[in-house]
């Protein structure tokens, strides 16, 4: 959700360094003001640790509503504009 090149790759590296599985990056059409983490309900126990990893690059990160159970992805992080 940001036009700046390289931000997603840097965040993916930070998340992987924090012990999470290799992160995949992509583009999100919807713009968010704040970096937001969406966590599948079955993985909500990882919320604090993923937030701590993301917080090092995006201090205003928030945890949003959980991802639908049907999605294959456990955690989605959308980089906000601020």
Q: 67 — phi, psi (to 5°)?
A: -75, 155
**DSSP of 32-68, one letter per residue?**
-SS-EEEE-GGGGGGHHHHHHHHHTT-TT-EE-SPPP
Q: Model pTM?
A: 0.85
Summarize pLDDT for 15-73 with one digit per residue, the tens.
999 999 888 888 888 788 899 998 888 888 999 999 999 999 999 999 987 766 677 78
Summarize pLDDT for 41-51 with one digit per residue, the tens.
888 899 999 99
- How far is the CA of 69 from the CAs of 41, 49, 60, 65, 75, in angstroms? 7, 21, 26, 12, 11
Closest CA to 55 of 77, 33, 71: 77
For the record, the structure tokens of 17 come out as: 């360094």
């Amino acid at each position: 959700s940001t036009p700046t090149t390289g931000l997603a790759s840097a965040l993916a590296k930070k998340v992987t360094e924090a012990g999470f599985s290799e992160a995949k990056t992509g583009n999100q059409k919807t713009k968010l003001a704040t970096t937001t983490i969406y966590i599948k309900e079955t993985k909500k126990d990882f919320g604090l640790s993923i937030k701590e990893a993301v917080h090092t690059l995006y201090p205003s990160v928030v945890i949003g509503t959980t991802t639908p159970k049907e999605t294959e992805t456990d955690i989605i992080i959308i980089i906000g504009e601020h």
